Amino acid sequence: MDTGTVWRHIDTQRGELADLLDDLDSADPDCWQTPSLCTGWTVRHVAAHLTHSTLPMPRMLAEAARSGFRFDALVNRMAVGDRRQASEIAANLRGVVGSRRHPPGTTAEDPLADVLVHTQDICIPLGIDRPMPTAAAVVAAKRVWQRGFPFHARRRFAGVRLVASDADFAVGQGRVVEMPIRELLLLLTGRPVETAERLS
């Protein structure tokens, strides 16, 4: 998939998630406090996090310094400490549609994986079955597999061959585990999925 198409997928996912967040805020503002699939984070924290990757570099450097230049500490402190109203977060997410900014050392595939996975982090605990575009999920899964930090997927799934049942995606060597590409991407990024029980 070419870079332009990757960014179009990102724009679509960001815009649709912003609409969903607005709907949630109107229907049940309390749902923003629902625990997400990200340990220790609520739906609100995840939504806020999705707006942080497009912040200007001087701001990110300042935030990194405050966190001792530790990645996990930076990400968590910014998400948990974000005091914006839900409507502001949704508007900000919609406002970054069209942005091509991403953190140094990353590619366009990284924010694609970020928005695809974090959308599920929000939707699944709320009982919302949100489809994931197959072609985009394959690109994101390949990127997560190839990149070590922060998920270390190849190390975690050594001795296992992961195969998508609904897409052209297969990685690893060993015992075959097959599931839809949406669940595979969640598995690769450390989210709890039913098939993970068979891997323990």
Look at residues 109, 126, 143 and tell me which one is the last residue of a structural domain: 126
Question: Are 148 and 85 in the same domain?
Answer: no
Q: Tell me what pLDDT residue 73 has.
A: 74
Rounded Cα distance, 166 and 182, in Å = 9
Question: Are 59 and 82 in the same domain?
Answer: yes
Question: Are 48 and 110 in the same domain?
Answer: yes
Q: Tell me what pLDDT residue 68 has.
A: 67
Q: Tell me what pLDDT residue 75 has.
A: 75
Q: Comparing C-alpha atoms, which of 106, 112, 125 is closest to residue 38? A: 125
Domains in the chain, number: 2
Question: Are 65 and 117 in the same domain?
Answer: yes
Rounded to two decimals, what is the model's pTM?
0.88
Q: What is the DSSP letter of 17?
A: H
- What number of CA atoms fall less than 13 Å from residue 185's CA on the CB side? 31
**52: its two tokens:** 């942080």
Look at residues 78, 102, 126 and tell me which one is the last residue of a structural domain: 126
Helix then strand then coil, in percent of the chain rounded to 5, is 60, 5, 35
Can you give the pLDDT of all 200 residues of the chain as single tens digits?
A: 999 999 999 999 999 999 999 998 888 889 999 999 999 999 999 999 999 877 666 666 666 666 666 667 777 777 888 888 999 999 999 999 999 988 778 899 999 999 999 999 999 999 999 999 999 999 999 999 999 888 999 999 999 999 999 999 999 999 999 999 999 999 999 998 765 444 54
Residue 18: what are its φ and ψ, rounded to 5°?
A: -60, -40
Question: Are 122 and 138 in the same domain?
Answer: no
Q: What is the DSSP letter of 143?
A: H
Domain extent for 68: 3-126
Question: Are 114 and 167 in the same domain?
Answer: no
Question: Are 21 and 69 in the same domain?
Answer: yes
Question: Are 114 and 139 in the same domain?
Answer: no
Q: Tell me what pLDDT residue 195 has.
A: 53
Question: Are 24 and 67 in the same domain?
Answer: yes
Question: Are 185 and 157 in the same domain?
Answer: yes
Q: Tell me what pLDDT residue 194 has.
A: 66
Question: Are 146 and 114 in the same domain?
Answer: no
